[in-house]
């Protein structure tokens, strides 16, 4: 059981109805215009149907519909709620509420948390399946037609693998489209980078080369002046025959040595002069040594200037300093390698997509084969059920047409086009379900499918409206029997006009309309055995209920009870 309680306030002619529901088959009856379909409309609205201002009771500003669902055995719904951060305090229950306000947006709540209408619709599809002329009529949805077949096929592992492959293929295809779009620009960029790399490679760049060239250029271009200065310093310090600093200082030190014994205070001065003489001699040696590295070499100067100009021009072209040329070359090489790999990406992606697509089509073919087998079985079973539900000579044929080719759109649901074709009478050609069946016929076809698939269905609550339109007698009894059987595996709520259907219910609710001078409103009453007999008698005989009618009603109830316990 899923739907436990339903509360409706100020919807259409309903002021306030509190409805408690049980498992099994619950029938809802009442005279025409009492509000049976209004209750269904309220449930439909709660599950995400379009809202209109005229659905609010005429003397009110807003209406509110609330439902409490049991999720005890609905792990998929619990996981969905958790993924949307809509879980309640108790994961075994879910409270859904929708508020309509005049000329204002509706408000939707799940477990007292605001949510969107689209999320409410998604949740509603998992909890309740409405079979009637309403938005939630699942049999007309292509996705649900496919789901019915897949429920019977027992190939969830293959469906999961196929969906995962489709998702990856489509993601890689988008990546490939982007890569191909950029391929041309990338090739132009690669051509330019290749030219730049070759130019830099031909330059044979060396770390710190430009700084060394600058120093050598300065030395070569100023060699004459340097040699003159060095020779002058060398002569003054060491080599001038008449006077040089080293000889003069040596004589001063010698003179001081002779008087230091007489004047000890001169010892410190003598020590400093000794140090100075040592430094002068060391400096002179360095000057002599440096002179050996300096030469006037016009040819070498020309080579240095050419090399220096080459590096300056390269730096200007690459918009960096001469010292940064080697790093620029290394950076450019890394970019070139990365872009080369990127430019080869379309080919790699195409290869990967081909491999994945081959796997996809292999699984899709297996899924399609199983669907075709199940479709044949279901077609025969549904057709057989239709014969007992007022569509003698009717037929359903489920067509599964695979389209396995290289240019087919890769879908997570496979490559099959699935269509339900139906004929409701002898000799009538098969036509698409949504274009052929009336509301009542469609509901009965849905009932036939639900009876067959109920053991595997994962929708906990099924609601049928007008399932008995246009039938009576034995056929209506068969409809009721099918609904009762369906109630063994799901919670079933059926709004009915037929006593044969109503008698099969395990629970019976009566919708009645109350009219006073001040207002009109609908009420709801659970029926005990006595009141139930009276209601079925009314459905059998109208307002004039005779003892014979009452006896007939009791007989129908007794017969239905015997059927249940058999």
Sequence-ordered list of residues with C-beta below 8 angstroms from that of 59, at least 6 positions apart, any chain: 519
Task: Give me the mean pLDDT over the 45-61 stretch.
Answer: 86
Task: Give me the mean pLDDT over the 54-58 stretch.
Answer: 87
CA atoms of 47 and 125, how far apart (whole Å): 8
Per-residue pLDDT at 182: 62
Which residue in 427, 466, 430, 360 sits closest to 130, CA to CA? Answer: 466
Helices (H), 114-222: 117-127, 142-153, 156-202, 209-221
pTM of the predicted model as reported, rounded to 2 decimal places: 0.62
Q: Mean pLDDT in the chain?
A: 83
With a pLDDT cut of 70, the percent of the chain lying above it is 88
Are 433 and 370 contacting, i.e. CB atoms less than 8 angstroms apart? Answer: no
Task: Give me the mean pLDDT over the 100-121 stretch.
Answer: 91
First-to-last alpha carbon distance for the chain, in angstroms, is 23
Q: How many CB atoms lie within 10 A of CB 515?
A: 9
Are 492 and 481 contacting, i.e. CB atoms less than 8 angstroms apart? Answer: no
Task: Give me the mean pLDDT over the 423-427 stretch.
Answer: 83
Task: Give me the mean pLDDT over the 54-67 stretch.
Answer: 90
Q: Token pair for residue 419?
A: 């269509």
Residue 197 has pLDDT above 60, yes or no: yes
Are 206 and 307 contacting, i.e. CB atoms less than 8 angstroms apart? Answer: no
pLDDT tens, 295-306? 766 777 778 778
With a pLDDT cut of 90, the percent of the chain lying above it is 21
Per-residue pLDDT at 434: 73
CA atoms of 216 and 297, how far apart (whole Å): 11
Per-residue pLDDT at 136: 45
Q: Give the domains, in start order, of the chain with CATH numbers.
A: 1-132+461-526 (3.40.50.300), 203-343 (no CATH)
Planar angle of CA 146, 148, 563, nearest 5 degrees: 160
pLDDT band at 120 (very low <50, low <70, confident <90, very high): very high
Q: Token pair for residue 349?
A: 């992606």
Per-residue pLDDT at 148: 84
Residue 180 has pLDDT above 70, yes or no: no
pLDDT tens, 256-280? 777 777 777 777 887 887 888 788 7
Residue 234 has pLDDT above 80, yes or no: no
pLDDT tens, 337-392? 777 766 666 778 888 888 998 899 999 999 999 999 999 999 998 898 888 777 88
pLDDT tens, 515-544? 887 888 888 889 998 899 989 998 887 667
Which residue in 355, 382, 358 sits closest to 437, CA to CA? Answer: 382
Per-residue pLDDT at 227: 67
Q: Out of 154-158, 175-179, 200-204, which region has the weakest mean confidence (pLDDT)?
A: 175-179
Residue 135 has pLDDT above 50, yes or no: no
Per-residue pLDDT at 64: 94
Per-residue pLDDT at 115: 93
Per-residue pLDDT at 398: 93
Beta bridge partners of 108: 98, 115
CA atoms of 132 and 440, how far apart (whole Å): 8
Are 156 and 164 contacting, i.e. CB atoms less than 8 angstroms apart? Answer: no
Task: Give me the mean pLDDT over the 198-211 stretch.
Answer: 85
Which residue in 330, 340, 339, 338 sits closest to 201, CA to CA? Answer: 330
> 135 or 138: whose pLDDT is higher?
138
Per-residue pLDDT at 73: 84
């Amino acid at each position: 059981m899923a739907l436990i309680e339903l509360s409706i306030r100020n919807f259409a002619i309903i002021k306030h109805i509190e409805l408690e529901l049980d498992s099994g088959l619950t029938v809802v009856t009442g005279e025409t215009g009492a509000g049976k379909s209004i209750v269904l409309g309220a449930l439909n609205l709660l599950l995400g149907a379009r809202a209109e201002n005229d659905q609010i009771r005429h003397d009110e500003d807003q209406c509110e519909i609330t439902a409490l669902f049991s999720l005890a055995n609905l792990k998929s719904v619990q996981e969905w709620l958790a993924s949307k951060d809509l879980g309640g305090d108790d994961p075994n229950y879910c409270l859904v509420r929708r508020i309509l306000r005049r000329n204002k947006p509706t408000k939707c709540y799940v477990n007292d948390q605001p949510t969107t209408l689209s999320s409410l619709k998604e949740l509603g599809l998992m909890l309740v399946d409405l079979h009637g002329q309403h938005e939630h009529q699942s049999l007309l949805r292509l996705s649900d037609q496919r789901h019915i077949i897949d429920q019977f096929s027992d190939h969830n592992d293959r469906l999961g693998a196929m969906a995962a492959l489709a998702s990856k293929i489509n993601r890689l295809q988008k990546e490939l489209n982007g890569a191909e779009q950029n391929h041309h620009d990338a090739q132009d960029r690669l051509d330019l980078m290749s030219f730049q790399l070759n130019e830099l490679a031909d330059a044979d760049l060396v770390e710190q080369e430009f700084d060394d060239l600058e120093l050598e250029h300065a030395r070569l271009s100023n060699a004459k002046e340097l040699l003159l200065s060095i020779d002058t310093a060398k002569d003054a310090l060491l080599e001038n025959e008449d006077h040089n600093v080293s000889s003069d200082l040596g004589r001063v030190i010698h003179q001081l040595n002779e008087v230091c014994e007489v004047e000890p205070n001169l010892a410190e001065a003598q020590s400093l002069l000794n140090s100075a003489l040592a430094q002068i001699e060391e400096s002179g040696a360095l000057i002599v040594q440096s002179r050996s590295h300096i030469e006037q070499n016009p040819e070498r100067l020309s080579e240095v200037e050419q090399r220096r100009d080459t590096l300056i021009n390269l730096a200007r072209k690459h918009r960096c300093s001469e010292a940064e040329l080697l790093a620029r070359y290394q950076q450019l090489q890394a970019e070139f390698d990365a872009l080369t790999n990127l430019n080869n990406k379309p080919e790699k992606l195409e290869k990967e997509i081909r491999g994945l697509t081959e796997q996809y089509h292999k699984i899709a073919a297996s899924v399609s084969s199983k669907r075709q087998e199940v479709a044949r079985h279901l077609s025969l079973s549904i057709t057989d059920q239709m014969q007992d539900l007022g569509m003698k000579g009717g037929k359903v044929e489920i067509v599964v047409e695979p389209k396995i080719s290289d240019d087919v759109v890769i879908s997570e649901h496979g490559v099959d086009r699935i269509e339900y074709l139906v004929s409701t009478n002898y000799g009538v050609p098969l036509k698409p379900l949504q274009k052929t069946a009336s509301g009542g016929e469609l509901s009965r076809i849905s009932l036939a499918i639900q009876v067959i698939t109920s053991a595997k269905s994962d929708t906990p609550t099924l609601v049928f409206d007008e399932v008995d339109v246009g039938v009576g007698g034995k056929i209506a009894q068969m409809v009721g029997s099918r609904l009762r059987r369906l109630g063994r595996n799901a919670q079933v709520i059926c709004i009915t006009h037929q006593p044969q259907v109503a008698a099969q219910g395990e629970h019976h609710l009566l919708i009645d309309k109350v009219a006073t001078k001040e207002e009109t409103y609908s009420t709801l009453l659970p029926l005990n055995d006595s009141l139930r007999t009276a209601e079925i008698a009314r459905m059998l005989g109208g307002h004039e209920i005779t003892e014979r009618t009452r006896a007939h009603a009791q007989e129908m109830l007794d017969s239905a009870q015997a059927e249940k316990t058999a």
